[in-house]
Structure 1
Amino acid sequence: MSNTEQLVNTGIVGGLAEVKNVARFLTLVETLIERPEGLPGLGVFHGYSGLGKTQASIFAQNMTDAMRIEVGESWSKKTLLQKILVEARVEPRRATIADLTELAINALADNWPRPLFIDEADKLADKKMLELVRELHEHSQVPVLLIGEEQLPEKLETVERVHNRVLDWVAADYCDHDDARLLAEVVCPELTISDDLIDYLIETTKGRARGLVINFNRIKEHACNYREKDLSRGSFDEDFFFTGKRRGRQPRRAA
């Protein structure tokens, strides 16, 4: 049994490891870590906003002791390198970009086989900083996983020397009924939520993990306020739930 299968089968955190996007992410991490010698170690996890990419990366970080950074809108090359050094447990110091790059390469190599997750990697493409990531990877050989929106693969295509070093591409997917049920068990394990309510929430949120989690938290709050444990579609007005467009009203109460 592979390391990823062992992690997924543990059912850690109320089954969160069994959510398909988490399993996909963990499998990609394992692919990068266990790649044969001579193969590139860049991976890309991409998809639409709200599918749970960041949550999957945080879960995988806890499982693998990965280094993880989330690129900010204002970041420069120096900021990127300093953040990587902090994650590699090296105190950043005043230095040139070239010196910081060398420090980061050495720090990453010293942390092998800890992978590096870079969330919001779209910003690196927009800021023309992908070549720096390629340099860090090539000289340290540490697995690097780029996480971003659905257009990230197209953005990487514009930087050929980065694009042709990607070992694997994995797309995050929308939640199905099983995923939604697992998320409900993580967020509100004390409640019994009917299948018709689960299916309605998938339709309402278009299967986006973020929207499902928000709605399960609303259901949990409602259940606490009204001391209910069994919830179904008929327990709520249509506009009670989060859709990303407007705030819902209070749930309908039986006469």
Structure 2
Amino acid sequence: MALAMGRSMHQSGLVVLHGPSGYGKSMAAAWVKARSRAYYLQLDDFTRSRKVLLKRLGKALGMQLAKSATVDEMADAVMAQLEQSGRPLIIDEADYLETFKLVDSIRSIYEGSKAAILLIGEEALPFKLKEWERFDGRILDRFPAQPVSLPDARELAGLYCPGKVMGEDLLERLVEVAKGSVRRVSTNLERMYEEALANGWDRIDLATWGNRPIHTGEAPRRG
């Protein structure tokens, strides 16, 4: 997002972050939002029309759009707010834009406001956007989300297990079973912290954890 916000007047301000579910994209969005004062909008299966999209955008921007406002009036108001505020916009679950043919609506909002816009979606999002040539040609950069690493696990341990010492062997195991997913590491750390509190542990390693289960994301097998 910093790249888009610091771009020259001749560069585009559209950026795409893409990757598998659980790779920490929404966590990254929260980090960007906090540090750049970005507006944040998460799409879903109900964002099926330009009118609904604009209403939700208006709400995300802290605006009171008149119930009687037309689509054009709402679009003008949203673009004016983005332009005047100078704040970036994050659109999470952006795959729905392609699903419901709303990609050009976001392109128009970008063109009318020149706001830096970060789209976050699944692995295939960049390929989906290529079908929208006028939008794809305005993308400044595309960033694939990275699988969780041991240094990431250490950072997450500090967030989810405050005051506890996490053994490297246990963190390595969590990264191994996570198969790239930040969410799985976080889920396991939360449970381990609760167990540590319940048992009075100051340190948690593989020996301490013993044969207690570790969440792998696999469905439980029938006995």
- Short-chain TM bin: over 0.9
Residue aligned with 1:169, SS: strand
Q: Provide Cα deviations, 1:170-189, integer angstroms capped at 9, x if missing partner.
A: 11101111111110011112
2:117 corresponds to which residue? 144
The within-5 A match list for 1:102-181 is 102-112=76-86, 114-181=87-154
Deviation at 1:196, TM superposition (A): 0.6
Deviation at 1:89, TM superposition (A): 2.4
TM-aligned CA deviation for residue 237 of structure 1: 4.5
Alignment partner of 1:77 out of 42, 50, 64 = 50
CA contact (8 A) 1:88 1:111 kept: no
**1:234 aligned counterpart, secondary structure:** helix
* Counterpart-to-counterpart distance in 2, 1:238 and 1:130: 49
- Residue 106 of structure 1 and its aligned partner are, at CA, apart by 1.1
- Write the letter of the residue equivalent to 1:111: S
SS in 1 for 2:40: strand
TM-score normalised over the length of structure 1: 0.83
Aligned match for 1:222, one of 195, 199, 213: 195
Task: Report the Cα offset of residue 88 of structure 1.
Answer: 2.2
After superposition, give the CA deviation of every residue in 1:200-241 in whole Å (9 maximum; x if it has no partner): 000111131101110000100110111111111122355611
Task: Give the whole-Å Cα distance in 1 for the aligned partners of 2:50 and 2:18.
Answer: 23
Percent of residue pairs bearing the same amino acid type: 31
Structure 2 Cα separation of the partners of residues 88 and 224 of structure 1: 41
| 1:37 matched residue in structure 2 | 9
- Cross-structure match for 2:70: 96
Distance 1:101 1:157 in 2: 24
Corresponding residue number in structure 2 for 1:211: 184
Structure 1 position 243, deviation (Å): 1.1
Give a deviation string over 1:16-60, Cα, whole Å, max 9, x none.
xxxxxxxxxxxxx11000101121110000001001100110121
Segments of 5+ residues of structure 1 without an aligned counterpart are 1-28, 249-255
RMSD (Å), alpha carbons: 1.5
Aligned residues: 219
Deviations 1:53-99 (A, max 9, x none): 00110121111110000001111221211122122222112222122
- Take 2:220 and 2:25, find their aligned partners in 1: how far apart are those partners? 24
Q: Which runs of 5+ in 2 are unaligned?
A: none
Query: Residue 108 of structure 1: CA displacement?
Result: 1.2
Misfit runs of 4+, over 6 Å: none
**Deviations along 1:124-160, whole A, 9 cap, x unmatched?**
1111000000000011100011000001001000100
Larger RCO (CA within 8 A; separation ≥ 6): 2
Distance in 2 (CA, whole Å) between partners of 1:63 and 1:36 is 21
With over 3 angstroms needed to count, the CA separation of the structure-2 counterparts of 1:208 and 1:82, relative to structure 1, is same
User: CA 1:239–1:123 in structure 2 vs 1: closer, same or farther (change >3 Å)?
Assistant: farther
Alignment partner of 1:240: what SS? coil
